[in-house]
Chain A
Amino acid sequence: MSDQAPATDDRLAAKPVSRTRETIQTLMANRLAVAGLVVLTILVFVGIFGEAIAPYGINDIDIPKRLTGPSSDHWFGTDELGRDVFSRVIVAARVSLQVGFIAVGFALVVGVPIGLISGYYRGGVDSFLMRMMDVLFSFPAILLAIAILAVLGPGVGNAMIAIGLVYTPIFARITRGSVLVVSEEVYIRAARSLGAGDRRIIFRHILPNVMAPIIVQTTLSLAFAILSEAALSFLGLGVQPPNPAWGRMLAEGRNFFEQAPWMGIFPGLAILFTVMSFNFVGDGLRDALDPKQKSVIESRGQSA
Chain B
Amino acid sequence: MSGFLVKRILQMLLALFGVSIVVFALMHLVPGDPVRVALGTRFDQDLYDALRERAGLDQPLIQQYLSWLGGVLTGDLGVSFRNGQPVTTLILERLPATITLALAALFIALVVALPAGIISAVRSGSGLDYTVSAASQVGISMPDFWAGVMYILIFSLTLGWLPSSGYSPLSEGVVEWARHLILPALTIGLISGSIITRFVRSAVLEALNQDYVLTARAKGLSEWQIVRRHVLPNAWIPIVTVVGLQLGFLLGGVVVTEVIFAWPGLGRLALTAVKDRDFTVLQGAVLYIAFMFLAINLIVDIIYARLDPRVRVS
| A, B co-complexed | yes
Q: Does A75 contact B (CB under 8 A)?
A: no
Evaluate contact between A220 and B140: CB separation under 8 angstroms: yes
**Which of the listed residues B16, B206, B245 has the most CB atoms from chain A within 10 Å of its own CB?**
B206
Q: How large is the interface on B (under 10, 10 to 19, 20 to 34, 35 or more residues)?
A: 35 or more
Query: A131-B18, A150-B30 in contact; A143/B255 too (CB < 8 A)?
Result: yes
Question: Cβ of B206 and Cβ of A250 under 8 Å apart?
Answer: no
Contact between chains at A147 and B286 (CB < 8 Å): yes
| Contact of B141 with A275 in the complex, beta carbons under 8 Å | yes
Minimum Cβ distance to chain B for residue A113 (Å): 20
Interface of chain A residues 92 through 108 with chain B (CB within 8 A): none
- Residues of chain A contacted by B149 (CB below 8 angstroms): 250, 254, 257, 264, 268
Given contacts A131-B14, A146-B274, contact A292 B209 (CB under 8 A): yes
Q: Which of B1-55 contact A (CB under 8 A)?
A: 11-12, 14-16, 18-19, 22, 26, 29-30
B255 is contacted by which of A130, A146, A173 (Cβ under 8 Å)? A146
Stretch at the interface among A45-53, A81-89, A198-206, A295-303: A295-303
Tell me whether A142 and B255 are in contact in the complex, defined as CB-CB below 8 angstroms, given that A250-B149, A272-B141, A293-B209 are known contacts: yes
Which listed residue, B140, B143, B157, touches A230 by the CB 8 Å rule?
A: B143
Contact B277 A257 (CB under 8 A): no
Residues of B with C-beta under 8 A to A234: 143, 145, 256
Please provide the chain A residues from 152 to 192 with a CB less than 8 Å away from any CB of chain B in the complex. 170, 173, 177, 180-181, 184
Q: How far is the CA of A184 from the CA of B205 in the complex (A)?
A: 19
B72 at the interface (CB under 8 A from A): no
Interface centre among A147, A213, A254 (most CB of B within 10 A): A147
CB–CB B297/A293 < 8 A: no
Cβ–Cβ contact A135 & B141, under 8 A: no
Q: Given A151-B30, A297-B125, does the pair A142, B19 have CB atoms closer than 8 Å?
A: no
- Are A276 and B297 closer than 8 Å at their CB atoms? no
Specify the chain B residue showing the minimal Cβ separation from A216: B202
Q: Which residues of A contact B238 (CB under 8 A)?
A: 177, 213
* Interface residue ranges of B149-196 to A (CB < 8 Å): 149-150, 153, 157, 195
By secondary structure, the B interface counts as helix
The answer to whether A135 and B270 touch across the interface, beta carbons within 8 angstroms, is no
Instruction: Report yes or no: A250 in contact with B15, Cβ–Cβ below 8 A.
Output: no
* B219 part of interface (Cβ distance < 8 Å): no
Q: Which residues of B contact A258 (CB under 8 A)?
A: 153, 157
Within 8 Å by CB of B271, from A146, A212, A261, lies A146
Residues of chain B lying within 8 A (CB to CB) of residue A149 = 274
A264 and B140 alpha carbons, distance in the complex (Å): 19
Given A146-B274, A184-B310, A235 contacting B282 (CB threshold 8 A): no
**Complex-state Cα separation, A127 to B7, whole angstroms:** 10
Q: Which residues of A contact B256 (CB under 8 A)?
A: 142, 231, 234-235
Chain B residues near A257: list those with CB within 8 A. Answer: 149, 153, 157
Return chain B residues, CB-CB under 8 Å to A173. 241
- Hey, which chain A residues are within 8 Å of B83, CB to CB? none
B293 at the interface (CB under 8 A from A): yes
Give the segment of B73-81, B105-113, B246-254 that binds chain A. Answer: B246-254
Expressed in whole angstroms, the Cα–Cα distance for A149 and B274 within the complex equals 9
Known A250-B145, A250-B149: A134·B140 in contact at CB below 8 Å: no
A231 to B146, CA, bound (A): 10
Chain A residue contacts of B22, Cβ below 8 A: 135, 139
For B251, the chain A residues whose CB sits under 8 A away are 140
B57 in the interface (beta carbon within 8 A) = no
Q: How far is the CA of A181 from the CA of B241 in the complex (A)?
A: 14
Does A56 sit at the interface, judged by CB under 8 A? no
How many Å lie between the Cα of A257 and that of B15 in the bound state?
44
Give complex CA distance A272, B18 in Å. 37
Complex Cα spacing A264 to B137, Å: 21
A19 within 8 A of B: no
The distance in angstroms between the C-alpha atoms of A147 and B270, with both chains bound, is 8
Interface string of B190-220 (1 = CB under 8 A from A): 0000010010001001101100000000000
Cβ–Cβ contact B15 & A134, under 8 A: yes
A148: nearest chain-B partner, CB-CB = B26
- From B14, B124, B245, B297, contact of A296 by CB (8 A): B124
Chain A residues within an 8 Å CB radius of B243: none
A272 and B146 contact, CB distance less than 8 A: yes
Tell me the bound Cα distance from A227 to B208 in angstroms.
Answer: 33
| B253-A140 in contact (CB<8A) | yes
Given contacts A135-B19, A143-B289, A261-B153, contact A177 B205 (CB under 8 A): no
A182 CB to closest chain B CB (Å) equals 11
B232-290 residues with Cβ-Cβ distance < 8 A to A are: 237-238, 241, 245, 248-249, 251-253, 255-256, 259, 267, 270-271, 274, 277, 279, 282, 286, 289-290
| Residues of chain B lying within 8 A (CB to CB) of residue A212 | 202
Supposing A257-B153, A271-B146, A297-B124 touch, asked if A280 and B15 sit within 8 A by C-beta, the answer is: no
Residues A213 and B252 in contact in the complex (CB < 8 Å), given A137-B297, A276-B137: no
Nearest B residue to A253, CB-CB? B149
Beyond A140-B293, A276-B138, A292-B209, whether A264 also contacts B286 by CB under 8 A is no
The 5 tightest CB contacts between A and B, nearest first, are A140-B253, A268-B146, A135-B18, A275-B141, A138-B290
Given contacts A143-B270, A271-B146, 4 further A-B contacts (CB under 8 A): A131-B14, A138-B15, A150-B279, A292-B209
Can you list 6 A-B contacts (CB < 8 A)? A138-B15, A143-B286, A150-B282, A227-B144, A275-B141, A300-B124
